[in-house]
Structure 1
Amino acid sequence: MSNLADFLAAGTLAGIALLAVKTGIGCGLSDLRFREMLCFASVYALTAFITGAVVGVIPLDLTEQVIGLGLVMHLIIGMALVYFGIRTKQQWLSDRKDISRRTFLLLSLPCPACLAATFLSCLILTDTTGISGIAAGAVIGGMLFAGIAGGSAGISWIAARTGVKNPSTLGNVMLFLGLFYLLCPLVVPAYLQAQNAPAFSITADSPGMLLAFGLMAALILLGILIDRIRHPANYGGR
């Protein structure tokens, strides 16, 4: 049981780290000053601390509603990320119009799905480790602040040095994360249900699988090549 509790706690902290990375990517690829990045990190840390302080006094039925709301918002935000990611990339490549200072907020602001994830993380951390809600909120808030501030600065520096800090890159990241958001609620329940299904003996066709993966990779590379040919000049800059 102790190993299971440690596994859940580690998974919770890993999820919070991924949330910090997502926010850091949005801040780092946008045109924000470091002081503004620190403001976003502080908002997340304060939100996590407040969530941890109230996590122990919220009734169980309300907790289930919060988690359910987070799943619905997960899908809505996924669709919004796909749409505005395409929009951000399109506006930059076609008209050289930078709308990333508004659209990056979808990645960086504490959305309802992020709040539900923070709430669930505080709840799991208090149940598995036995610490108080305030302590759990402080731990998660500290992780969010450090991850967002450090990730934003690091991603901004790397993107600037490699010449990819432009709205087109931000649009690609938003599109990828949006598709990921949409696929997770579909894949995870299907995987969990498959664990209880009877096992069938299926012979894998290794050459066919390799051919399928090769075709997928070729299509992706072809798309990248076509995009480079259509826009050979500089992607960026003001």
Structure 2
Amino acid sequence: MEPMATLIVIGILSSVFIFGLKTGVGCGFSKTGWKIVFALCLLYFAIALVAGYFMDAIDVTSFMSSPLAAAIHITLALFLLAGGIATMKKWHAGCDVSNKTFLIMVFPCPVCMAALLVSCVALSTVVELDGILIGALVGVVFVLSILITTYVMKNLSKIAKKLHINFDGTPDTLGAIMVFIGLFYLIAAIMIPAYISAGATRSTIPSSFGTAELTVLAGICLLVLFGAILTVSADKSREKTVKKSKTDYED
């Protein structure tokens, strides 16, 4: 394989890895067990295989620019916003509902499925493999992303403690991340159809991983990071308030 083709494959698989972070974060910040995580991994692997097999028969561009795709985006965004707010409110009230609301984060959404399908199509232009094998490769990378992210998120408080950082990966954090991803989905529901329509006259494969897509991926990471930072700040403020209340009560 030529060096340029190798770089293209690495870039595509890196994009697949990034799209798996959403599911990993949802599993990591919830109280769900590893059995459910592995079940989700099998589900996404199966979807990747199907995407590889049918990649030549499905027109992703037409679907993503259709009103139905926008409606699905908006619906998912509203579910994320409602679920995130409910997770935070219930947690502050002493109730953990993350084992239910995390499903909104990890359930296969049109964005993830389209990303898997587009990745399979893009890989087929640079590697000479059967569609099933391409789907398996994409599925393995996506599954690795879920497993690694889930493990890191579940042990984030321990890692933060070793780094002398005060951070607890509570369902409150999950709720904040859900809210920010929900806001991103609302923006995407408006931008993606317009972007696809504007680029309809260009070749879809070379433009699938251009500057616009890298900007979108960077936006996801920034939104998640911003939500985590806000949650940490809120946790510190609550701790100070609780400590002050205890001190005033003792006095």
TM-score (structure 1 length as normaliser): 0.70
Q: Which amino acid aligns with 1:41?
A: C
> Offset at 1:9?
4.3
> Offset at 1:35?
2.6
Give the total of aligned pairs. Answer: 203
For 1:230 and 1:175, locate their aligned partners in 2 and report how far apart those are by CA, in whole Å.
22
> Offset at 1:14?
2.6
Identity of aligned residues (%): 26
For 1:158 and 1:13, locate their aligned partners in 2 and report how far apart those are by CA, in whole Å.
25
The equivalent residue for 2:124 is 126
Change (3 A) 1:231 1:42: farther
For 1:102 and 1:138, locate their aligned partners in 2 and report how far apart those are by CA, in whole Å.
29
> Offset at 1:48?
0.6
For 2:185 and 2:9, locate their aligned partners in 1 and report how far apart those are by CA, in whole Å.
23
For 1:180 and 1:149, locate their aligned partners in 2 and report how far apart those are by CA, in whole Å.
24
Greater mean deviation of Cα atoms: 105-114 or 65-74: 65-74
SS of residue in 2 equivalent to 1:129: coil
For 2:70 and 2:186, locate their aligned partners in 1 and report how far apart those are by CA, in whole Å.
10
The equivalent residue for 2:78 is 79
Matched, 1:89 2:110: no
For 2:147 and 2:233, locate their aligned partners in 1 and report how far apart those are by CA, in whole Å.
31
The equivalent residue for 2:136 is 138
SS of residue in 1 equivalent to 2:20: helix
> Offset at 1:27?
0.4
> Offset at 1:5?
6.5
Unaligned runs of 5+ in 2: 161-166, 199-225, 244-251
Contact 1:78 1:177 (C-alpha < 8 Å) held by counterparts: yes
The equivalent residue for 2:20 is 20
For 1:136 and 1:148, locate their aligned partners in 2 and report how far apart those are by CA, in whole Å.
19
Unaligned runs of 5+ in 1: 194-216
Contact 1:70 1:117 (C-alpha < 8 Å) held by counterparts: no
For 2:72 and 2:121, locate their aligned partners in 1 and report how far apart those are by CA, in whole Å.
19
> Offset at 1:75?
3.0
Q: 1:144-183 CA distances to partner (integer Å, 9 max, x unpaired)? A: 1111112111210114554522221110111121122222
Q: 1:64-114 CA distances to partner (integer Å, 9 max, x unpaired)? A: 444345454233222221221111111111x21111111101111212332
Contact 2:48 2:139 (C-alpha < 8 Å) held by counterparts: yes
Matched, 1:174 2:178: yes
Greater mean deviation of Cα atoms: 67-76 or 21-30: 67-76
Greater mean deviation of Cα atoms: 71-80 or 169-178: 71-80
Matches within 5 A, 1:50-199: 50-56=50-56, 58=57, 62-68=59-65, 69-93=68-92, 95-159=93-157, 162=160, 163-186=167-190, 189=194
Change (3 A) 1:137 1:233: farther
Q: Which amino acid aligns with 1:113?
A: V
For 1:141 and 1:134, locate their aligned partners in 2 and report how far apart those are by CA, in whole Å.
10
